[in-house]
Amino acid sequence: YTHERQPFATFGFLSLRRRWKLIGACTLVSAAAGMLVVALKPTSYTASTQLLIYVKEALPGPDPVISIGRADLTQVENESEIVRSRGMSAKVVRALNLIDDPEFSPATTPLWGIAQSLFGEPRATLDESRSAQETAVENLAKRVTVRRVGTSHTILINVTTSDPEKSARFANGISQIMVQGRIGAQDGDKSPLLRERLRGLGPSSYVVTPALVPERPNGPRKILVILAAVAAGSIV
């Protein structure tokens, strides 16, 4: 009788009671790992703004009449690529002065400065400014995502930074640059009357939803991460 109950005692509830120290150790280690991940993971906030893409066309006639029409899918994709482009990122960097923001243009570490002074020539001030701008442009491009909303003619711009107000300000800055980018973009060789008639023609953007300050950071809550780690450790 004892021999028949031995498999159940080995793999059943009695086995769990016999190994409570191992279970407790796995749970504590998993909980510590979850708290470590929560402590080391940087907090980020994402702000979103929506732009409606449409087209302004000049109707033929004795007097110039501008009509607003719908943009096709190709034009919507083109506007999305413009937002993702390096030129647009450079405009945002200059407009928002991101070169002075440590998150987008981190300062040179003392160790790098010593190594550069020992093994390389000091860079000129112009080269340093250019390098800082390129770094800010690259970091901004990593924090901006653009996608089309369903099958509509609306694009969604997401900006992710470490500060909620900064994310909203940068998202609204990008949308304003998109809206105002058409103004004054005509060729300077054209006459003032022709520039006035052609101003604003072609694809244009309209801010449907301005970016608001996000209230919660990205990702799951910290307590949920810790509880998931505890549950995983208990199961293991």
Q: Is the pLDDT of residue 85 over 90?
A: no
Cα–Cα distance measured from residue 181 to residue 200, given in angstroms and rounded to the nearest whole number: 10
Strand stretches in the chain, DSSP E: 45-59, 65-70, 144-148, 154-161, 202-209
Torsion angle (degrees, nearest 10) of CA 20, 22, 26, 29: 110
Q: Is the pLDDT of residue 84 over 50?
A: yes
Tell me which of 10 and 55 has the higher pLDDT.
55
Q: What tokens were used for 63?
A: 């007097």
Cα–Cα distance measured from residue 112 to residue 143, given in angstroms and rounded to the nearest whole number: 25
Mean pLDDT of 41-61: 82
Cα–Cα distance measured from residue 178 to residue 209, given in angstroms and rounded to the nearest whole number: 14
pLDDT tens-digit series, residues 115-164? 555 555 444 454 566 788 888 889 988 899 999 888 888 899 999 998 99
Output the pLDDT for position 9: 52
Q: Which residues of 149-187 are buried (b: 16+ CB within 10 A; e: fewer)?
A: eeeebbbbbbbbbebbebbbbbbbbbbbbbeeebeeebe
Report the mean per-residue pLDDT for the chain: 76
- Confidence band for 46, pLDDT divided at 50, 70 and 90: very high
